[in-house]
Amino acid sequence: MSKHQSKYSTIHYESYLKLQELLSIQNLRSEAVGDPAHEETLFIIVHQVYELWFKQVIHEMTSVINMFSSDSVDEKNIGTAIGRLDRIVQIQKLLIEQIRVMETMTPMDFLEFRNYLFPASGFQSFQFRQIEVMMGLQEDKRLTYNNYHYASVFDDKKKAILEATQAGNTLFGVIEGWLERTPFLNFGEFDFLSQYRDAVSKMLKTESTAISDSTYLSETEKEQRLKMLAGTDSYFDNVFDEDKHKAEQEAGHLRLSYKATIAALLINLYRDEPILHNPFRMLMTLIDIDELFTMWRYRHAQMVMRMLGRKMGTGGSSGFDYLQATASKHQVFRDLHNISTLLIPRSDLPVLPDNIKKELGFYFSEQSK
């Protein structure tokens, strides 16, 4: 047999996917103790499928982190990265939909075998913890798991992997670095921040006048809305004053660096310029991922409430309360979400000089033709 024939030798569907092994690992604890529960098969399969999808998410996320880990990111890789991150988004949607399948099992059905699961728990999913760390979830931002460190349920080898991942490049870290290096921050004589400040001042003044002149609002409502508007004004101050931004970082209210924040803002404001299309899509996809993990945690919490009410989780946690809290607490790209606070109407955008607009577009000069 030639080398070419050996490389492309035939293989059977079953042996390629190792179906005999795959389909033989749904071992029911209830059956092992002589009290088989019909619904336990569903419980096992759903969670095994989760772990398979987690493996794919890790595979995609690792490749994107590697692409953005160098000081120079090939522009062609941005499109590839968006595609792979979008694949994560589609997987996340499946993860959320799987909860509907799980909910075809009633609380009474679950109680038939729940006692056989102690002390196993979804909190012991090593791959999910890997995903959280790879995304960039900071250890000091985590909610305590049953008053123990989140990695306490793993052996030393797995703990070491999580520590190394935390200390290495994360998705948040490489994206922050990429934003800080974006070439469109340097506009030469065009002072973007100065003109943006003027545009913001104009926008806030217009909104303030509209509130004050309203014949629909009461004086109390006007006062409340003007106070809220003033709070928005203070958020803009973090963009105009780097020292204030750093103070907010030190206080833990902001995480993204000042330079990266300005880059993300500029990308959002001038997203219609051709060269910024992919960077904008990249930021939106990261927001999607963050949002969908929040939705998954929330739906998971709702499912636990439906199945267990206020019972303690099999792993010893507070169950619903813990899961519900992580949905709002464990966001990674919150600063990208908050860029929306800083946006202004397209009609108020500072007009880009022709030479800069040309650099942000795809064009061919006579010489290049």
Each residue's pLDDT tens digit, 137-183: 998 888 776 677 888 889 999 999 999 999 999 999 999 999 998 86
With a cut of 70, say whether residue 360 has pLDDT above it. Answer: yes
Q: For residue 51, which of 82, 24, 91 has the smallest C-alpha distance?
A: 91
Q: Where does the pLDDT of residue 368 fall: very low under 50, low under 70, confident under 90, or very high at 90 and above?
A: very low
Cβ(269)–Cβ(184) below 8 Å: no
DSSP single-letter state for residue 367: T
pLDDT digits 0-9 by tens, 250-305: 999 999 999 999 999 999 999 998 889 999 999 999 999 999 999 999 999 899 88
- Work out the angle between the directed axes of helices 219-240 and 242-250 (0-180°, nearest 10): 100
Given a contact cutoff of 8 angstroms between Cβ atoms, the answer to whether 84 and 63 are in contact is yes
Q: How far apart are CA 30 and CA 251, in angstroms?
A: 50
Q: Is the model more confident about 131 or about 366?
A: 131
Interatomic CA distance for residues 68 and 100, integer angstroms? 36
Element (H, E) at 208: helix 192-212
Burial class (CB in 10 A: 0-12, 13-18, 19+), 169: middle
Mean pLDDT, rounded, for 107-120: 89
What pLDDT does residue 367 have?
39
Which has more pLDDT, 209 or 191?
A: 209
Write down the mean pLDDT value for the chain.
88
> What is the mean predicted confidence (pLDDT) over 54-80?
91
Q: Tell me whether residue 24 is exposed, middle or buried, using C-beta atoms within 10 angstroms of its C-beta: 0 to 12, 13 to 18, 19 or more.
A: exposed
In the chain, the domains with their CATH numbers are 39-112+120-359 (1.20.58.480)
207-223 mean pLDDT: 91
User: In whole angstroms, what is the distance from residue 202 CA to residue 105 CA?
Assistant: 56
